[in-house]
Amino acid sequence: MRQTRVVVVGSANMDLVATAPALPRPGETTLGTDFVTVPGGKGANQAIAAARAGAASAFLGAIGSDSFGVTLRARITAAGVDTSRLRTTYGASGVALVMVNAEGENAILVTPGANGSLTALTEDELAAVRDADVLVAQLEIPVDTVTEAATAARAAGTRVVLNAAPAVPLPPELLAAVDLLVVNENEAQTYTGRGRDEPRALLDLVPRAVLTLGAQGAWYGDRDGTDVYVPGVRVDTVDSTAAGDAFTGALAVAWGEGRDLVDAVRWATAAGAACVRRLGASVSLPHRVEIDQLYAPAP
């Protein structure tokens, strides 16, 4: 079977991750227990997640000319992602300050750095989008760039998966190009005012949507009447930082391989569960064999 071609357009950050028994409150200093420096960013994470899940994955993004940028390129490439179109711009790379408590919950502050320079896609970048089976995008880069990529993908028949995070206003042109929207509860609340109590409100925006529910699994619905809750997979949680990225990357791969979307969501849920068992973002993203071990087909 030919590998599914997934192109991810999005952010790359260096994650500075500290762990502590509890997250500090405003004005409070808390002693931590551990510290690691790990490549991350939603775009880079989802590109790596797609590669590890079995896709031919390519990443369109921007890194800085600093030492973080050098490390980011090397690590993303080593994970099996095509970085031949990854831009380097003068200045700082994106950085994420991540704090994780003993229950695996986190608080994250991101400074965009070079990610903000990813504008006006080149013809070579657009050609990669058009040649893909699935385009995956998020909103840690300029929304105009996401709209440009999604519009080009839609015109070429490439499926468009938008992980609409962080929540920002979505242009009508972008929504018109999206095939599948992926959001968490906070993002759903921002976009529809309803959250998990009425997830089908997301279908007023797009034809298909997934609402991720953390350890409780996910909901999938479409305008044809599908309305399904997929239960979570029980694991011991160490760090939930990149679980959503593991989910989105695996979902794109499964859909691109021809699975129906309910089953694709089920497989992606297993990917998210596999991810939270380790500390860090990109280093915790699971390989296909790990996803298959946790995946449970519908009875």
The residues assigned a catalytic role are 245
Rounded CA separation 70/193 (Å) = 41
Rounded CA separation 249/251 (Å) = 5
14 annotated ligand-binding residue: yes
224 annotated ligand-binding residue: no
45 annotated ligand-binding residue: yes
83 annotated ligand-binding residue: no
Q: Which of 248, 241, 249, 251 is CA-nearest to residue 275?
A: 241
54 annotated ligand-binding residue: no
Write the DSSP assignment of 88-106 as a string of letters: EESSPPEEEEEEE-TTS-E
Rounded CA separation 132/9 (Å) = 12
Burial annotation 43-70 (CB, 10 A radius, 16+ → b, else e): bbbbbbbbbbbbbbbbbbbbbbebebbe
268 annotated ligand-binding residue: no
275 annotated ligand-binding residue: yes
Rounded CA separation 167/186 (Å) = 8
Query: Which neighbouring-strand residues pair with 88?
Result: 63
239 annotated ligand-binding residue: yes
215 annotated ligand-binding residue: yes
208 annotated ligand-binding residue: no
Side chain identity at residue 276, one-letter code: V
244 annotated ligand-binding residue: yes
Contacts of residue 171, Cβ cutoff 8 Å, sequence gap at least 6? 143, 144, 147
Query: Which neighbouring-strand residues pair with 36?
Result: 17
44 annotated ligand-binding residue: yes
Binding residues for ATP: 184, 212-217, 244-245
Binding residues for K(+): 239, 241, 275, 278, 280, 284
Binding residues for substrate: 13-15, 41-45, 140, 245
Binding residues: 13-15, 41-45, 140, 184, 212-217, 239, 241, 244-245, 275, 278, 280, 284
